[in-house]
């Protein structure tokens, strides 16, 4: 009798991992929605997961959002320890602190997809999906140069001091070099509306003549526009934001002269990454490699194709 009971317990114990092998678990770890772009990214991640769970019943998803790198490391460790994930889609908060933990996940045999920000050791990821930050800066710079053929004075608002921000600004500076465009001020607006409003107010006090603004981000463009409007200055011809926020794309589409163009950096790249990873797990299709999503210039002519009214971003 005793043997029978323990035998039963054993078979139950064995059955659980057997069941688990049928469903595959994909862990998704992304930064929390602390600014507009990240909010859009969260939206697209959730939407992709909802859609994929419906399409592939054999897939199970774990989504975790982290407000700092330490929290993100904990999330990833928890996923491995408690959910035994088969694949990890990660948008690292910062490259350095996440490299080791992701490497450990890789060692456990899971598939690794890295999104947007590369890890500091190459070769860990099976799939790399990213926007093109130097390209984002270059496209922005080229637009600036073409919009001001006779040159002019501009101010630049930068994001939170990170590699992403540096790559964009370097790309921008390279593109406007020798084009007679003078950058008369550059400060961090931290991808934040309030901060960019304050910085722009002070730029306006400091410089009597500003021809254009590279806000480098649509959230910052909102603050910049409000500051210009409040100061009643008409020397600023246009503001170039970036990332493709729906309100800004709409204004481009409507032919607003203050917002003549935009440069994409789609937060939906997370959806691309999750989708490709899912396909890789359920099918035989080869999906490893690099997938770079280029930054495209949005103009009144093509704006309609970049306008997603349902997205929160």
Partner 1 sequence: MTVKPQARPKVSMSVIGPIAALIALIVMGALMNPNFLGPDNISNVLSRSAFIGIIAVGMTFVITAGGLDLSVGSMAAFVAGLMILVMNAALPSLGIGVPIILLGMATALVAGLIAGWLNGFLITVLGIEAFIVTLGSMGIYRSLVTWLADGGTLSLDFGLRTFYQPVFYGGILGISWPIIVFAVVVILGEIAMRSSVFGRHCAAIGSNDQVAKYSSVRVGRVRMATYVMLGLLVGVATIMYVPRLGSASSSTGVLWELEAIAAVIIGGTLLKGGFGRVWGTVIGVLILTLIGNILNLTDFVSPYLNGAIQGLIIVLAVVLQRESKPGA
Q: Name the site residues for partner 1 (rule: CB under 8 A).
A: 32-36, 38-40, 42-43, 161, 186-188, 192-194, 197-199, 201-206, 219, 222-223, 226, 230-231, 247, 312-313
161 vs 294 by CB, closer to partner 1: 161
For β-strands 297-298 and 262-263, DSSP reports them as antiparallel
Residue 260 tokens read as 């003549």
Q: CA-CA distance, 218 to 128, in Å (whole number)?
A: 25
Q: How many CB atoms lie within 10 A of CB 222?
A: 22
106 vs 250 by CB, closer to partner 1: 250
Task: In angstroms, give the least distance from the CB of 288 to partner 1.
Answer: 30
Region for residue 151 given its phi and psi (left: phi exceeds 0; alpha: psi -120 to 50; beta: otherwise)? left
Which residue in the block uniquely carries the two structure tokens 């630049």?
A: 156
Task: In angstroms, give the least distance from the CB of 199 to partner 1.
Answer: 6
What letter would DSSP give residue 216?
Answer: -
Neighbour order of strands in the sheet with 24-31: 59-66, 24-31, 87-90, 111-115, 127-131, 289-293
Task: Report the DSSP beta bridge partners of residue 62.
Answer: 27
Q: CA-CA distance, 153 to 209, in Å (whole number)?
A: 7
208 vs 286 by CB, closer to partner 1: 208
Task: In angstroms, give the least distance from the CB of 91 to partner 1.
Answer: 14
Task: In angstroms, give the least distance from the CB of 45 to partner 1.
Answer: 10
Task: In angstroms, give the least distance from the CB of 196 to partner 1.
Answer: 10
DSSP notation for 230-269: HHT-----EEE--B--HHHHHHHHTT-SSS--EEB--TTH
Asked whether the beta carbons of 250 and 44 are under 8 A apart, the reply is: no
26 vs 199 by CB, closer to partner 1: 199
76 vs 220 by CB, closer to partner 1: 220
223 vs 266 by CB, closer to partner 1: 223
Task: In angstroms, give the least distance from the CB of 156 to partner 1.
Answer: 11
Q: CA-CA distance, 166 to 88, in Å (whole number)?
A: 27
Task: In angstroms, give the least distance from the CB of 84 to partner 1.
Answer: 28
35 vs 117 by CB, closer to partner 1: 35
Q: CA-CA distance, 282 to 274, in Å (whole number)?
A: 12
Q: In the chain, which residue ranges form alpha helices assigned H by DSSP?
A: 2-22, 36-55, 69-78, 95-107, 133-147, 163-176, 193-206, 218-231, 246-253, 269-282
Task: In angstroms, give the least distance from the CB of 233 to partner 1.
Answer: 10
77 vs 202 by CB, closer to partner 1: 202
């Amino acid at each position: 009798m005793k043997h029978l009971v323990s035998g039963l317990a054993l078979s139950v114990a064995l059955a659980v991992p057997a069941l688990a092998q049928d469903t595959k678990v994909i862990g998704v770890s992304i930064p929390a929605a602390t600014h507009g772009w990240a909010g859009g990214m969260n939206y697209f991640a959730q939407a992709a997961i909802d859609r994929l769970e419906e399409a592939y019943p054999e897939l199970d998803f774990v989504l975790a959002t982290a407000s700092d790198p330490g929290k993100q490391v904990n999330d990833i460790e928890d996923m491995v320890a408690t959910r035994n994930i088969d694949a990890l889609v990660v948008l690292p908060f910062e490259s350095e602190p996440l490299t080791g933990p992701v490497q450990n996940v890789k060692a456990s045999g899971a598939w690794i997809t890295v999104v947007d920000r590369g890890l500091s050791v190459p070769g860990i990821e099976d799939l790399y999906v990213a926007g093109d930050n130097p390209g984002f800066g270059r496209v922005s710079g080229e637009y600036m140069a073409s919009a001001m053929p006779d040159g002019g004075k501009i101010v630049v608002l930068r994001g939170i001091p990170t590699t992403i921000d540096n790559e964009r600004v370097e790309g921008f500076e390279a593109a406007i070099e020798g084009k007679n465009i003078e950058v008369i001020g550059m400060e961090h607006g931290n991808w934040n509306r309030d901060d960019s409003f304050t910085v722009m107010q002070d730029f306006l006090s400091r410089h009597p003549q500003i021809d254009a603004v590279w806000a480098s981000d649509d959230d910052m463009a909102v603050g910049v526009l409000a500051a210009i409007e409040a100061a009643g200055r008409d020397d600023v011809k246009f503001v170039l934001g970036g990332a493709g926020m729906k309100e800004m794309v709409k204004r481009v589409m409507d032919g607003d002269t203050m917002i003549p163009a935009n440069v994409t950096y789609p937060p939906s790249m997370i959806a691309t990454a999750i989708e490709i990873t899912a396909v890789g797990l359920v099918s035989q299709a080869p999906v490893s490699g690099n997938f770079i999503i280029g930054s495209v210039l949005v103009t009144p002519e093509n704006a309609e194709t970049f306008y997603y009214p349902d997205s929160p971003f």
